[in-house]
Amino acid sequence: MSPLHQMTENGARPSAQKRYEIAEDVLRGNIEDSTLPPGVVLLEGPIADILQISRAPVQRALQTLESEGLVHRFNGRGYLVGPAGQGIEPNRIDIKTLGLTIPRHADEALQSRASWERIYNTVEADVAGCVVFGQYRIIEIELADHFNVSRTVVRDVLTRLRERGLVRKNQSSHWIAGPLTAQMIKDHFVLRGMLEPQALMAGADHVDRGRLNDLFLRLSDLEQHEPADHLAALEAIYADFIDVCILATPNERLKESIRNNLLPVTATERLLRRLGLPGDPAIITELRLVAELLLRGAVKAAAAMMENHLEAAVNRTIAQMKIVAIIPGPSVTAAYLTRVLE
């Protein structure tokens, strides 16, 4: 069952609300009835997942609730439930386990407004899973039929994929995905090298020390295990590493640029793992060193270690892509993806 449908209540449907207003209402209601008790740490990502919306309206909703004194900022990332100045201790419970109350009118409004968001992740995964093998055309009507949605929803999805660099329109106005070449990956890593170490330094004072320490302990523990254990946990722990160490910067435009630039890189690495290509346990050590240096307050050294990690990472990825180049493409892709022979 979707988190959005964990619990609903009867309620009159209001006039059309913006998503941030709906998010405000949902969070305010759950704070007032103590489903979200004082001290709970509110992060944009988990709230966005529950409400099935993007982070931007959640961010705006939290800012409004802060102005009302219902939440406040603290030394870590996110907001604490409760007013400032009362010495409330952070409670980093996963809010998805709290069973937030979603009023029926809010549920219906979010469902009607977020159709593209409900299929976006699936489409992104379908596209990312094939582009390393070549060029594919996406046919709008077939994509709409596949998910039983309107052409408007399909165009919203494709527009967002284009914003993230995963698809483009060719001279015939056809939607094209791929090919994702070694040079493109190199270009993405060049941009990572420009953005991520700078973001690390800019956000060092805003890092959630509790999460950073937890991350360091997890990485240290993984170093003691067999390499197979490293690689099974790598995707999740790498996402946490980026979130804790790189995206702590308060610069929202920088964060968005980093997230978008990472999409094709993450998709490529995920595909390489699915193909059974061997990973490098050195990744865990590299990430652990960055986290350890940040914990010690050696910010410039942490940024330099991040640069070293990115240099090693691009070499690993390119070496694996050379192996993929001789592997036949997938025999089955989503019905709306058609291989284009170059």
Alpha carbon of 222 to those of 22, 55, 70, 111, 112: distances in Å?
Answer: 41, 31, 39, 40, 43
pLDDT value, residue 310:
97
pLDDT value, residue 119:
84
> Cα–Cα distance between 103 and 7 in angstroms, integer?
8
pLDDT tens column, 181-240? 889 889 999 999 999 999 999 999 999 999 999 899 989 988 887 665 556 577 778 988
Confidence band, pLDDT 50/70/90 cuts, at residue 245: very high
pLDDT value, residue 229:
54
As a dihedral over the C-alpha atoms of residue 178, residue 184, residue 189, residue 195, rounded to 10 degrees, the angle is -80
pLDDT value, residue 222:
85
pLDDT tens column, 11-46? 433 345 677 888 999 999 999 999 999 999 999 888
Confidence band, pLDDT 50/70/90 cuts, at residue 329: low
- Residue 108 in this model has a pLDDT that exceeds 60: yes
pLDDT value, residue 7:
40
Give the residue, 115 or 236, on which the prediction is more confident: 236
As a dihedral over the C-alpha atoms of residue 110, residue 115, residue 118, residue 122, rounded to 10 degrees, the angle is -170
The arithmetic mean of pLDDT across residues 113-123, rounded, is: 75
Give the residue, 47 or 75, on which the prediction is more confident: 47
Closest by CA to 185, choosing from 228, 132, 230, 117, is: 132
Round to the nearest angstrom and report the end-to-end CA distance of the chain: 43
User: How would you classify the pairing of strands 175-177 and 135-138?
Assistant: antiparallel
Determine what percent of the chain is predicted with pLDDT higher than 90. Answer: 40
Burial class for 23, CB neighbours closer than 10 Å (0-12, 13-18, 19+): buried
Confidence band, pLDDT 50/70/90 cuts, at residue 178: confident
Place of tokens 């709008």: 140
pLDDT value, residue 324:
73
- Residue 107 in this model has a pLDDT that exceeds 80: no
The arithmetic mean of pLDDT across residues 67-92, rounded, is: 89
- Residue 112 in this model has a pLDDT that exceeds 90: no
Q: Is-above-0.75 flag for pTM?
A: no
- Residue 1 in this model has a pLDDT that exceeds 60: no
- Residue 4 in this model has a pLDDT that exceeds 60: no
pLDDT value, residue 325:
67
pLDDT value, residue 26:
93
| Domains of the chain listed by start with CATH number | 3-113 (1.10.10.10), 118-180+328-340 (1.10.10.10), 182-324 (1.20.120.530)
Confidence band, pLDDT 50/70/90 cuts, at residue 110: low
pLDDT value, residue 76:
72
Task: Check: CB of residue 48 under 8 Å from CB of residue 55.
Answer: yes
- Residue 162 in this model has a pLDDT that exceeds 90: no
- Residue 10 in this model has a pLDDT that exceeds 60: no
Backbone angles phi, psi at 59, to 5 degrees: -60, -45
Contacts of 29 (CB under 8 A, 6+ apart): 101, 103
Closest by CA to 267, choosing from 182, 166, 179, 192, is: 166
Task: Check: CB of residue 222 under 8 Å from CB of residue 284.
Answer: yes
